[in-house]
Amino acid sequence: MTALSAAARGRFIAIEGVDGAGKGVQSRLLRDALLTCELPVLLTREPGGSPGAEEIRGLLVRGAADRWDSLTELLLIYAARRSHLLETIWPALAAGTWVISDRFADSSRAFQGVAGGLGLPLVERLHQEVVGDFAPDLTLVLDLDPATSLQRARARGEGDDRFERKGELYQRRVREGFLALAARSPATHALIDASGSVESVAASVRRAVLDRLKVLRLAGIH
């Protein structure tokens, strides 16, 4: 997979951020915008995105906040990620499909590495074993204050809220992790202010994709 040239495969976009930042909504809106460009697009998510990974997802996002320690979380997530890559992401990219993923590896770095206290070196060692040098063509980090994002997340009333129940301090550390990751890799990351309306955030997302990935036309932006 990693040997494929950019011209021979689709592009891979990861959308990251704290819980409740709007990743799901913005992922769907970006998919719809890319479809207007007549591009083949696959929308997926982590943890999950393949049958095996979706089974692991249930273990990770449900139950008590202290159900797993950070290392166990990391191992489960990378088991799911390997399945996701092998069964979904890599075949789609090889077929020329653009892939949008609601979360990818930066979530492991921010959640388990930074907020969970494992440290980035440990996460990177496991990442190299499981993923290698493969990385998104573009990572969009939706930045939002955790006090606001948790209010949004709780208003959804979904059961997949184990990480949200770790609390605001945990989410603030997650946010710090994402901001640091975006700052250290400006060529591959775009920081998006997610505090505005859904429409204004979507416009910022489209602009970042247009500028970074050179999509010729994207939902009215030229």
* The model's pTM: 0.92
Q: Where are the domains of the chain?
A: 10-213
Return the pLDDT at 6. Answer: 45
Return the pLDDT at 8. Answer: 56
In Å, the largest CA–CA distance within the chain is 48
* Ordered strands of the 12-17 beta sheet: 41-45, 98-102, 12-17, 138-143, 189-193
SS3 66: coil
Return the pLDDT at 27. Answer: 98
Determine contact, residues 52/208, Cβ cutoff 8 Å. no
Radius of gyration of the chain (CA): 16
Q: Distance of CA 128 to CAs 20, 45, 56, 104, 107, Å?
A: 29, 20, 21, 14, 15
Determine contact, residues 108/131, Cβ cutoff 8 Å. no
Return the pLDDT at 95. Answer: 97
Q: 81 CB contacts (<8 Å, ≥6 apart)?
A: 46, 47, 53, 104, 105, 108, 130, 131
SS3 43: strand
Q: Tokens 């492991």 appear where?
A: 108
Return the pLDDT at 219. Answer: 56
75, β-bridge pairs: none
Question: Looking at the domain that runs over 10-213, which CATH code has it been given?
Answer: 3.40.50.300
Burial 94-133 (b: 16+ CB within 10 A, else e): eeebbbbbbbbbbbbbbbbbbbbebebeebeebbeebbee
Return the pLDDT at 3. Answer: 36
Determine contact, residues 38/127, Cβ cutoff 8 Å. no
Q: Which of 73, 8, 58, 35 is nearest to 161 (CA)?
A: 58
Cα–Cα dist 3/34, whole Å: 25
pLDDT averaged over 10-residue windows placed end to end, the chain, 222 residues = 52 96 96 93 98 96 94 98 98 97 98 98 98 98 94 74 90 97 97 97 96 74 53
Angle between helices 51-61 and 70-84 (to 10 degrees): 160
